[in-house]
Amino acid sequence: MTPPLSRFSEVVYALLRIVAGGLFVFHGTQKLFGAFGGHAQPIASLLGAAGIIETVCGLLIMVGLFGAYAALLASGEMAVAYFMMHQPTALWPIQNRGELAVLYCFIFLYVAARGSGAYSLDAALHSEPHRRWVGAPPLPRAR
């Protein structure tokens, strides 16, 4: 049976990538600049490094530029955050308030596996019109 929204799957995937990446940027800017009710952390600290990863990777995921690589790094950061900060306090994510870290980890793991998708800078930069503009040879046609 065909899912009811299957014809919109690329658009919905782009929305997932854009929203998750954008929300991740908010977490990073909280740590780096104290924005959105956060507290600025020293840049040379573990939380400062997390802020850099969250801000840069969130932006890259959001616009879909090197999205698979940025998402893999972000997924790993969220796994580390969960096991360092949340898991030691209780066994289950609902008990240790680690649901958001787990959810980000698996969303970004999915983005890393799937790539940036059709509505992304990666797709625009690798499209046939762009390749002609920069003088690259045409892509082989699928048979």
**44-64 residue pLDDT tens:** 999 999 999 999 999 999 999
Q: How confident is the model at residue 126 (pLDDT cuts 50, 70, 90)?
A: confident
pLDDT higher than threshold 80 for residue 9: yes
Report the interhelical angle of 9-33 vs 99-114 (nearest 10°).
130
Task: Specify the pTM.
Answer: 0.86
The per-residue pLDDT of the chain, averaged, comes to 92
User: Alpha helices, DSSP H only, in 82-125?
Assistant: 93-96, 99-114, 121-125
- Which H/E stretch holds residue 71? helix 67-81
